[in-house]
Amino acid sequence: MTVNGILYSMMDRVQTDLGEVFKPMRRWNRLVGTLDDRVLKVGLYGARSLAWMQAEQFAHSSPKDFDRLLNHLDIRFTEIGRAVLRPKRWWVRLGMRWVRNGEIGTVADRIALLADDQLVTK
């Protein structure tokens, strides 16, 4: 199996497991079928391509450039993290609230369910 194949199967497993703690995910999967899988695969391909390109930049950089590149990446990922934590767009915040309201049980319940080795996914 290829690395992409392994990553795709992991994404499928996560999506299925999330359906155990977020019931609307099951409906979403039935509604869109494989469309979201195809979108995720394109995104994963792009992310892996970008990561490889950045790794090549690091490999061919001088120590001074290495530090500059690393600082630039650190700033970018910090910005992404902030955007995920506190999205600026109202519709993203609304979507996140919808997800939170659709979750089942307490945080501890969800962690226990997702950590359970007996969780059967198909």
Per residue in 49-64, pLDDT (tens digit) is 999 999 999 999 999 9
Q: Give me the residues of the chain with pLDDT under 50, please.
A: 120-122
End-to-end Cα distance, the chain: 19
What does pTM read for this prediction?
Answer: 0.57
Predicted local distance difference test score (pLDDT) of residue 117 = 56
Query: What pLDDT score does 120 carry?
Result: 47
DSSP code of 60? T
Buried/exposed code over 29-44 (b: 16+ C-beta within 10 A; e: otherwise)? beeeeeeeeeeeeeee
46 to each of 53, 71, 106, 119, how far by Cα in Å? 11, 22, 35, 31
pLDDT of residue 118: 52
Cα gap 37→43, rounded to integer Å: 10
Per-residue pLDDT of 89-99, as tens digits, reads 898 889 888 87
